[in-house]
Amino acid sequence: MPTAACGIDCDVCKLRLMEICSTCGPGKSADAQSKLETQKRILGNTCPILDCAVLNQIDYCMRDCELFPCNNFELGYPFSEGFLRMQSRRLAQIPPARSHINTPVEVPQTYWELIQDKSIPAICNCTLTEPFPDNSGATGVIFRFLNEDILVDFQSRMLKRRNGMDWEQSQDPLLELVSLVYFGSAKSLLPLSQDIVSPNDLKEGHFFQGPHELKTAPLLERYGHDPEAFSRAALALGGTSVDMADRSYMLLPFPRIPLYYLFWEGDQEFAPDITILMDRSIEAYLAADAIWGLVNRVSQALLQGPAKMI
């Protein structure tokens, strides 16, 4: 595995082919240990990035460290200031919203028109959310999405996030679309069924096959060998630990819509695995494509991790 902890790909470096330089390797590798020893012997000191990654058992700074880009990169090597600024800026962004047919998500204005005709107090009663600004003159609905408050502002037709005492517009089309579908369809407050099922067991379970299978590969790539980081990310998003796998958390994208992320740590025989389950009552509110979108949005938040929170 010739990619160094910092992200330099030694695989494509002629210095390695010429045996002038050896790979640094990921932070948990034997290559990294041996490179540090070589640096100490030949140079008298070590690379602070590699040193830190080994000490903190981080394979790759850019993928696995919640502190990236940290001040170890401020020495100007191996990346430019411009690259590091770009990384900081983009790590804080919400990933692009794609539909289940892999097109950019757009929110049709008809969804806003439909919801504007509804009684806000009735929506709040059915979904355990809050009217905004208050019950008598409500123009929107506030709900808790994982670890933050979101305002669905019917009047300005915008999704907003809390910023101190104010609300600012949020460019989050996937969450906007699913929120409008959910608040537009909620007609009664159903009890949670306690029947926790795989998406394949829902009435529209056939939808979640092939290209519409719930995506767990990016989560496994990031957390498969870093269960502690998976727990930190889930807890930072307001997740509650539940006893269903090696590590499992209930996450609440809406107050009455729990999603369950089950993490199996894997061993010599089996690779790590992640399973996503849901309360069967979800199908009373959301069609299969909306469930797919909601799960993707929550998985994106988990992948983003605690430091670069949504």
* C-alpha gyration radius of the chain: 23
CB of 23 to ligand SF4, least distance (A): 8
Query: Measured from the CB atom, is 6 or 277 closer to ligand SF4?
Result: 6
Smallest distance, ligand SF4 to C-beta of residue 60, A: 8
User: What's the closest the beta carbon of residue 72 comes to ligand SF4, in angstroms?
Assistant: 4
Nearest alpha carbon to residue 68 among 96, 35, 39, 90: 90
State the sign of the Cα–Cα–Cα–Cα dihedral 190, 192, 198, 201.
Answer: negative
Closer to ligand SF4 by CB, 24 or 174: give it.
Answer: 24
Burial class (CB in 10 A: 0-12, 13-18, 19+), 64: buried
Asked if 284 contacts 203 with a C-beta cutoff of 8 angstroms, the reply is: no
- Write down the least CB distance from residue 19 to ligand SF4, Å: 16
Dihedral sign computed on CA atoms, order 300, 301, 304, 309: positive
Beta-ladder partners of 249: 241, 261
Q: Closest CB to ligand SF4 among 70 and 220?
A: 70
Q: How far is the CB of 32 from ligand SF4 (least distance, A)?
A: 8
Taking the least distance from each CB to ligand SF4, the nearer of 65 and 186 is: 65
Phi, psi of 247 (to 5 degrees): -140, 130
Q: How far is the CB of 44 from ligand SF4 (least distance, A)?
A: 14
Choose between 76 and 211: whose C-beta lies nearer to ligand SF4: 76
Cα–Cα dist 175/202, whole Å: 22
Comparison of 28 and 160: residue with beta carbon closer to ligand SF4: 28
Chain positions contacting ligand SF4, by CB under 6 A: 4-6, 8, 24, 47, 49-50, 52-53, 56, 58, 61, 65, 67-68, 70, 72, 77-78
- What SS3 class is residue 294? helix
